[in-house]
Each structure stands twice: as C-alpha cells, then as structure tokens.
Chain A
C-alpha cells in the first residue's frame, strides 16, 4: 500500500549539498558551478564554448555539448533481465496511448503506473525530490537536458537495449544539447504556433504580417489562450518582437514583460495546454498550441464541428517568416530508477514502426523516425489535407528555433516574470 523504496539518489543530493555547506563553513570561497561539477567528477566537454556567468556550459546549435558520463552515474550493465515491474512512467497527461501501454504490458508482463505533471518546472522539481520514484520520464525538454544530466538526475542509456533506435532515428535531428543521444532520446517533435477556430474567427492569421500580434488583438479578449509554463508563455512575447526565445538580456526581458502585462490585462489570457477539452464548449477561439495537438482535436470537437474548422499557423512557414519554435520531447531514465531495463525496453518498443504509428494515430504527436513521414499521416487519413503542414520535415525543422538552456539566474528571472504575468492564477 505504501510507497516504493528510496534507493541511492538521496545520497547524491546530500553529497552535493553537504559539499556546499562544508565549503561555506570552512571559508572556501563558494566555487563557480563549473568547479562544483568538476568536484563531482565530471570531465570537461569538447568545443570551446559559451559559458554563462558561473561557469555553466550552455548548449546551443552553435555550441553542441557532449554530456559527461561519470563513474558514479554509469549506464546499466549489458544483458540484464527485465525487472518484474511495474514500469513507472512520469509524463504529461495522456501522452502515450493507453492501447500502446497495454501492448507493452502484454509483451513484457509488466504493469504500468502513469504519473502526471503539468509543466516542465514541476517535472524538474519532482525529479529533484523524488527522482527514483520513476523509471521513465517522457518529457524532458531540451533546456533541461544538460542540467539534469550533469546533476546526475538522469542516467546514460545502454544502447545495447535499444536496437530500434539505431534503425529509426532521424539522422538530421539536432542533438546539440546531448551529442550522441547519451542521456536523452526524442519521443516526439513538434512546432509551437497558433491554432484557431476558423469557423469562429474570420481572419487569416497565417497571412498576417506578424501572426503573434493576434494575442494582443482585443477582439479576442477572453478567447485567447496561451500555453502555461514560464518558457512557453514568455516565448510568445519574445517571438512577437523578433527576439530569441532564450533571450537573456534583462532589459529586453523587461520590455517584453511590460507588453505581456498589458496583454494579460486587456486580453484576459488563460494559461493551459488542455486546449482540446475546451473545444466542445468553444471556450477559446485562438490558442498558442503545439502542432501535435491538431490531430487530437478531432476527438473533442462539439457535434457539428469538423476538424477542418481548426487552422494552424507556424510563423516561419507563413509569408511573414516570423520566428517560430520547434521542440523535441525527450525520453530519459532517472538515476536510481528501480526498473531501468524495463525503461530501456519501453523506449525500444516506442521506436518500433508499428507501435510508433499506432501511438501517433491517437496522440497525433509526430515521432522523428524514418518509417513515418508526412504522406503517411495524410494518406492514411489521420490528418486532413488542411493540416498537413503541421507535420515536420527536416526542411521545416531547419526553419525553427529551439528553447535553449538558460543560466540559473536568467531562469529565475523568467520564473518571476511568469509569476507576475499570470498573477499566480
């Protein structure tokens, strides 16, 4: 009835914290983050690099990072038997299809426990406090990958358990944040753009000069929703002004913050990503949404409304060519997980062509695998022609920008701005 045993993860945290306190007490000047990481046994990375203040190396497409593999956080051994289970998955709500999960259970005999989180920040906080309670985290984001790996909260893969990945993974997929996919593997890729009900909104947002302006258009007050989470919410303001979604200049952030405050007040934004459940009561007309949600919508539209009532604009592919986000949701295995072999098997299972397609037909978030392409979705009837452009190709991928890892102090600033914009609602 009560919770699972808590293995060695606790000791790691204590060690790091103890080190900090001991160093403070003995009067050693508190080292930079880089020195702390060095003390914990990490090796230095390749490439010169962009370093934020404090010595933390930040990954970017111009500055790819190979994450270190440490002795006290090794991958699991080869050739182990799968554990009995249950496999404990930590993910966004309903992010893997129940049928696919059941298929895994049938195949391996292991039950699946599915725990939900709402935002990347919540995910990180839970991993910090209860990492070993989970075996597989389904959505690490790019900006968290480096921190979590260097902080030894996730463990490196043993690729011998992942033969499907070898065959299927897109070679062109960016991996600057984890060169060689040592700690993370993509589950889905998607873009973040603007979805709208074309039966309620007559504007052609895709043709607008700055599609992001629509979130400040008071005609849609109370009917425009943003994604929740500090990074996603702020990126709307940043991209609207042509800035990078990982902008760190406080002056620019302040300016964007003011705009977003005005917007929040006049537009009465809601912040969520459960957009589809509100479709049946048409509680929004415009939604800052992920491309993967588009196919999902067909299950939730009210009677009489067809999936063709939904339109999606991704600014880089519109005439205006304004910047837009591209993202990958990554698999990772927490350090100290009780069922790592099962976790590896689950990842391998998800990379199987049939399974991935089956999952796609329900989730409509696209797996970046060779057996799946844009024609599959439309020809097999999973996506209407009008939304075919939501499928990502290597060409479109190159047009997008990713949310990159931020320096801790800048991250803090983002959180504070986000709290101010949402008012804690």
Chain B
C-alpha cells in the first residue's frame, strides 16, 4: 500500500485497514452477501416438486417474471399486498404524527423546564430504550384485555358504557401501540436539539419584546426543523417494517401490515414472494434512508 501522508499525517499503511478488516468481513459475510441471496431468490426459480426457492447466483441467469408479478400485485392490481402497503403507509403516517405531537412537548419540557429534575427525567426517558419492546407491548396486551385495567378504569369513570374489545382488530389500537413503542425515538433528537439552544438567544428575543409564543414560533421551531426531520426518519423507517406490534395488539386480516405479509410469505411456501417484497421495501425506503444518511453526515461535518 502506498504511504498516505494525508490530513492526519500518519505514515503506517496497513495499520488502520487491518483494524477495519474484521468488521468489514463481518459486514460482507452477514449483510452484503445475504442481501445478494435475497436478490438471487427473488430473481431465481422454483423447485417444481416442493415449490421451494431455487436461488440463482449468476446475475445473467436472473429472471424477473415473478418479481414483476409481485410489483403488479402491489401497485397495479387490487390485492392484499396493495392493501397492506397502503394500510402500512396510513398507520405509519398517523403514528409518526402522533409521536411528534406527543414527543415535541415532552422534549421541550425536559430541555427547558425540568430544571433540577432534569437528570431524573432523563433517566426515566431513557428507560424505554433498554426495556424490551416486547415487554412494553406485552404490558399493554394485559391492560387492554376485556377485563383489564384500561376497561375497568374507563368504565369506572364513565367514559365507556361497557368494556371495549381493544384487542379485536382495531386499527386505533395498532396505531396507539406504534406511537407508544416509537415515541422515545422521536424525543431523542428533539431533546438533543432543544437542549442545545442557547439560553441567551431566547433571552435576547424576550428582551426585544417577543412573547413566549412568538419566541417559540420564530426561533425555537425553525431551529428544531432539522431535529424534527431526523426524529421522523428515525421513527418511520423502522415502523415501516414493524409487524409484531400488529400481531400482538390486533392480529387480524384487516390490520395486517407490510411486514406481516413478508413474514407470512416466508412461513408458507411463498418464499420468492417474500424475498421480492423485501426488495421492494428496501427500494422504497432507499430514498428516505439515503436522505437521512446524507443529512446526518452533513450535520456531523458541521460539528467536526
């Protein structure tokens, strides 16, 4: 390797690449190649007897008929794939908005008003990150049972006439679950940004005669735009692939999401379809993903 006298002025050639090697091998072996296998299957054939996938590793061998079929089911024909796709878009949009509406005030509160209790709130806020998502949803499954606490409390205070079947395939329950599960991810970047806003900036605005609401609208909000965007990305990207929240809280045909179809394709003999659906999902999310990476890189460069 040529000697590199770059920005850092380091002279050793093989030193740093050697450090990067194990992780690179890992990424190649367990990330890049597996995705290649997905393509080999989605563009591959089918065993005639067992209907199992017959992967084709030579790109020249690839045939796109079944993939095109899946695409047409998704976007052209009226099919369960299309329904699940549109439904997922709807749920994710609603849940993301919900996360924002709840997350922003909470982040704002923690950043600006918690005062002495900030650390305590931070700890409490970080807690969901190391709690198992499953456990948090499991807790709600028990609470939302017909004889669970939610119904008992709501009936007691009179908001409900009789216990409601929250877990019987209600989209509202699913969206609620998604919001509950993902709102900490929304709060994170919002809090980080709001915490960083200099006190003096706000005081200056106040001195110049701006009221509380005006200060918020014309200083805080614009400054947090980047963070809102980041938060939305952090929330919507994984939510799109979420399938377990729906299975835990509703588990019906009318609420199934894109992820459910992927999983069910794998578990019946429709593996080709499952692989194709994964490719479509990645292709669709590629744009927001790249956008997010770019903006994160830009933000990092600003700091560096």
Contact = CB atoms under 8 A, between A and B. Distances in A.
Task: Give yes or no for direct A-B contact (beta carbon below 8 Å).
Answer: yes
Interface residues of B, number: 37
Given A415-B270, A420-B80, 11 more contacts: A17-B54, A20-B48, A56-B49, A150-B49, A281-B147, A411-B51, A419-B261, A423-B253, A423-B260, A424-B84, A425-B246
B47 interface: yes
A122 interface: yes
A416 B66 CA distance: 14
Interface in A154-208: none
B52 to A, nearest CB: 6
Interface in A396-425: 408, 411-412, 415-416, 418-425
6 contacts: A17-B54, A21-B54, A222-B168, A408-B49, A419-B265, A420-B80
Contacts of B173: none
B247 interface: yes
B255 interface: yes
A30 B254 CA distance: 41
A254 interface: no
A89 B261 CA distance: 30
A265 interface: yes
A425 to B, nearest CB: 5
Nearest to B49: A33
A338 to B, nearest CB: 23
Contacts of A54: 48
A419 B264 contact: yes
Interface of B: 45, 47-52, 54, 79-80, 83-84, 145, 147, 165, 168-169, 243, 246-247, 250-256, 260-265, 267-270
B267 to A, nearest CB: 6
B253 A122 contact: no
B48 A128 contact: no
B256 A425 contact: yes
Contacts of A36: 48-49
A230 B260 CA distance: 16
Lowest 6 A-B CB distances belong to which pairs?
A423-B253, A424-B260, A424-B264, A423-B256, A424-B261, A415-B268
Given A119-B267, A125-B269, A268-B169, A422 B253 contact: yes
A156 B265 CA distance: 32
Interface string A109-128: 00000000001011011001
B256 A424 contact: yes
A279 interface: no
A270 interface: yes
Contacts of A425: 246-247, 250-253, 255-256, 260, 264
B52 A418 contact: no
A222 B168 CA distance: 7
Contacts of A33: 48-49
A124 B48 contact: no
Given A36-B48, A56-B49, A20 B54 contact: yes
B70 to A, nearest CB: 12
A322 B265 CA distance: 33
A147 interface: yes
Contacts of B47: 17, 20
Contacts of B52: 125, 128
Contacts of A422: 253, 256, 264
Contact of A124 (B50, B80, B83, B147): B50
Residue of A56, A412, A415, A419 with most chain B CB atoms under a 10 A cut-off: A419
A151 interface: yes
B169 A122 contact: no
Nearest to B260: A424
Most buried by B among A222, A268, A412, A424: A424
B268 A418 contact: yes
Interface string A257-297: 00000001100101000000000010000000000000000
A265 B256 CA distance: 12
Given A119-B267, A419-B268, A268 B252 contact: yes
B149 to A, nearest CB: 15
A122 B267 contact: yes
A281 B261 CA distance: 29
Contacts of A419: 80, 261, 264-265, 268, 270
